[in-house]
Amino acid sequence: MEEKNVKKIKFSTVLIIILILVVVGLTVLSVYLFNQFSTYKNAYLKAMDIVISMSTSGRYPDCFYATIEDISTNQSLNGQSIIKVKGLDINDKRYRGEFTFEIILDNIGDNFKIEHNGEEVPFSSLKVGQTIAVYDYSNTSSKAYTENTEEGYLSSVYKVSILDDNL
């Protein structure tokens, strides 16, 4: 009888040791995979910064002043908002019309900046009616915008500065 109990205890001990080793192994594997994921995400963000700097190299951004007319979410793409603005009369003629541009909310802080008084602010700081400065690489000069043109689309907006004193 004692032999059976001893065998059961040895078997239980071996089983517990195996389970502990499996748990430790899974923990080590999950830490390794998490670090790999973080490394790939960082590499992706660095690659995007390089691509953006290459695509804008030698080009100067246009900046114009506008009033936010509408902020809406893109129903087809989750995490994306569409901003509709109207250029102010003090702008060059090509920036006096209505424009739209899209903001991918995951890019804010990485490839897109929203600022107020030189400091980064969240997307929720943007409100209809605010006066903003829009920084854009879209090269609208080739599109010959005038006061009578329909709404233009800006594909390369990289920064918005809120000019109002209060948020």
pLDDT band for 143, please (50, 70, 90 cuts): very low
- Structural domain spans, the chain: 1-58, 62-162
Return the residue matching tokens 């920036």: 95
Please compute the mean of the pLDDT values over residues 115-140 and round it to a whole number: 89
The answer to whether 135 and 159 have CB atoms below 8 angstroms apart is: yes
Amino acid at 76: S
**What 8-state DSSP symbol labels residue 94?**
G
Q: Which of 130, 139, 70, 79 is nearest to 100 (CA)?
A: 70
Task: Dump pLDDT digits (tens) for 150-165.
Answer: 578 888 888 999 999 8
The answer to whether 147 and 96 have CB atoms below 8 angstroms apart is: yes
Helices (H), the chain: 2-56
pLDDT band for 98, please (50, 70, 90 cuts): very high
Q: Which two tokens stand for residue 40?
A: 């790939």
